[in-house]
Amino acid sequence: MKPLDDATGGIDERSTERMHFRAKPHVKRAIQRAAALSGVDDSVFTMNAAYRQAMETIAAHESTALLAVDHEAFFSAIENPPEPEPKLREAFERHGRTIVSR
């Protein structure tokens, strides 16, 4: 039996929020079996799996990784940006005419 690495157990908050969802019977049985094999109940197992996936998804969307070969081109473009193309200028002008900022 592989013990569960509890990703949510170290969070110093009370569990006050509820989440409701339905599962297909096959999926529910698989989760319950995996939870039992890990020595936890199905809610702990499901919450940990969902939390880990949530953190991976957030990290993937909040970071950008560049290959070494791309570093020079990227930082060069930031330090020496090219002049905007006419279509970009038109888009900014159209945005200024049509979008109201508050």
pLDDT of residue 1: 61
**What pLDDT band is residue 2 in, cutting at 50, 70 and 90?**
low
Identify whether the C-beta of residue 50 lies closer than 8 Å to the C-beta of residue 42: no
Count the neighbouring beta carbons within 10 Å of the beta carbon of residue 75. 11
Residue 36 neighbours by CB distance under 10 Å: 13
pLDDT of residue 7: 86
Q: How far apart are CA 66 and CA 96, in angstroms?
A: 33
What pLDDT score does 10 carry?
Answer: 85
Q: Where are the domains of the chain?
A: 25-98
- E strands along 1-102, which residues? none
pLDDT tens by residue, 39-87 = 999 999 999 999 999 999 999 999 988 998 899 999 999 999 999 999 9
